[in-house]
Chains A and B, each alone.
Chain A
Amino acid sequence: MSARDATAALRGAPVVAALLWIAWLAPTTPIAGVLLEAPSSFLLRSLPVPRWHFWAVQGAQLLVLELPWAVLWGRGEGIASGMHAAVAAAGVHAMVIARPRTAVDLAASIALVASVGAPLPGPAALALALPAALLAVAIAWTRAPGRDARARAVRVGGRPAVALARAYLVSLARGEAAALWRGLLIAAAGGGATALAARANQIAAAGALSLGISGAFLVVATGGLAASIARADRQQRWLLAATGTGPGTRMAAAAGAAAIGGALLGVVHAAAVIAIAAPSTGAAVRLLAGSIPWGAAVAALVQEVHVAAARAPDRATGWVVAGTIGVVMVATIGAATLGELAIPVLVVAGAVGLGVAAEGEPTGEP
């Protein structure tokens, strides 16, 4: 399907078009948040530079982020539509991050939504979206330093390993949204690849194939989460040492948090396979049931690699790469040779790896 056919089809199906806009805006919002709200850039505001310079730079950064979206609409409907897609997406991103609260915010939000939803020609849509987007960027820039002061409380309690795992997950969700979204997209892409491979090879029950392909995708998808959790673990060494938290508790918490993230990514992978390949109900249930422990075990192993690699900071990158390749090989070869029996094998490997990794962990700073 060409870009022209795709955009023409979207014009004829407003609901699908709205879903596609959401599918673009939702995963890119955390990246836009990083561009608009980097605390390290707040210091620059004290410089004797007119504000519009900052707005121009941030607007340009957002336009670069929206480039793939603009290219789709530009190739489909022409330059004006492409520019409108980029400007409207940048404006919506800025407004979402600023959180509308005044009448002016609301008016700008309505203008942005109307420019997307109303059946306007490209230049008219652009003319409607441009002032609203400029306003949205300025508002987001102004409000950035005061954002996120408060957070909805999460219960961080229970047994020590559970409390620590919860703390890691809270940090991940609040501070590493980009890694989380990246992981979700990679897991979904793995599901798409599995479905296409199953269809091309006329495989009805995609269970073992799914495990084999998802092994590589889930290792990459969970890598970002594992790195974030390992960073949080390093940052908290002083607190964990001073509260008598042993290496076993630390490792169990880190691997547990990663396993929960991995299980979620396993669900996303399976959902993508099911959505595209449309297997029978029984096969779909079996696929989903297998993907959850598979994703959890893969993530736990990747986490163990990251924590163990952190013991040698100057060689950590090499160890992470080597360990990640090792996990990919174990998962892929295991799935190819054992089929769905590879699931309990990988779970056991994750548990054994946990014990081995905890044994070598220092109790304080390495």
Chain B
Amino acid sequence: MLRVCEVGIRLGRRRVLDRVSVACGAGETVVVLGENGAGKSTLLRIVTGVLAPDEGDVLLDGESIVGRRVAGRRRLGYVPEAAEPLPQLTGEELVALVAALKRAPPPGADLVDRLGTASFQAQRIGSMSLGQRRRICLLAALVGAPSLLVLDEPTNGLDPDGVAMLVGLLAEQRARGGAAILATHDMDFVAALDARPVALSAGRVVG
């Protein structure tokens, strides 16, 4: 499903990732662990194409999604750590925009109900709380039933019900043969997942 091959990147003078290789198969959840500054978010940003690596490649279903080869990225859903979509759009406008960009149908009412966004999705994103914003971003990430979910600190701002809902969504992602790669410091959340840990330290895979 996902193969990160010998990826390296330098941001400024600092080498943030050094020949990192990670794989995530169909029906698998990978949790990237590591101290602050280990390179977890940078790795996820490279996986999603937000950052281009200096070296190495990222393959999704055997197809490279690095650089200008963007089409394959429509099969992934991403929620960054600081999810800051256009603040003037409403939640439902953001979801409609993502559906149009991915050329996918908008999410069904059942998914909206599960994520509990119906009551606030007519609000502008700039007026939402952090938890509401993350739920809307999660809904947008799930547009088109992506084969790979990429979640950076997904429990930030979520209440306990939200975390339980997320655990359930990730279990369903696995059950339908999808993959997920996420970075988190929330060890209770990790314990609730049936996930394979990958440890990063100073930009290298250490376990």
Contacts and interface: CB of A to CB of B under 8 A. Distances in A.
B68 to A, nearest CB: 6
A171 interface: yes
Interface stretch (B42-50, B110-118, B164-172, B181-189): B42-50
Given A160-B100, A237-B50, A363-B68, A171 B88 contact: yes
B124 A155 contact: no
A188 B101 CA distance: 36
A170 B73 contact: no
A327 B72 CA distance: 37
A72 B31 CA distance: 67
Interface residues of A, number: 41
A350 to B, nearest CB: 23
A157 interface: yes
Contact of B72 (A232, A236, A244): A244
A14 to B, nearest CB: 38
Interface string B75-98: 011101000111111101110111
B89 A243 contact: no
A315 interface: no
A247 B70 CA distance: 9
B123 A164 contact: no
A175 B98 contact: no
A164 B98 CA distance: 9
A93 B31 CA distance: 53
A253 to B, nearest CB: 10
B88 A241 contact: no
A175 B52 contact: no
Nearest to B85: A239
Nearest to A167: B97
Dominant SS among interface residues on chain B: mixed
Given A242-B48, A243-B74, A160 B103 contact: yes
A240 B101 contact: yes
Contacts of B87: 175
Contacts of B74: 243-244
Contact of A153 (B72, B86, B90, B99): B90
B45 A238 contact: yes
Nearest to A163: B100
Interface string B101-132: 11100000000000000000011101100000
Interface in A211-245: 232, 235-245
A163 B50 contact: no
A249 B100 CA distance: 12
B175 interface: no
B52 A362 contact: yes
B50 A364 contact: yes
A235 B88 CA distance: 12
A232 B89 CA distance: 11
A148 B123 CA distance: 8
Given A149-B127, A174-B124, A157 B48 contact: no
B177 interface: no
A245 to B, nearest CB: 5
Interface of B: 45, 48-52, 65, 67-68, 70-74, 76-78, 80, 84-90, 92-94, 96-103, 122-124, 126-127, 150
Given A149-B127, A170-B88, A244-B65, 14 more contacts: A148-B127, A151-B88, A153-B90, A153-B93, A239-B101, A242-B150, A243-B73, A243-B74, A243-B101, A244-B49, A244-B73, A245-B101, A363-B52, A364-B51
Interface of A: 39, 148-151, 153-160, 162-164, 166-167, 170-171, 174-175, 232, 235-247, 249, 362-365
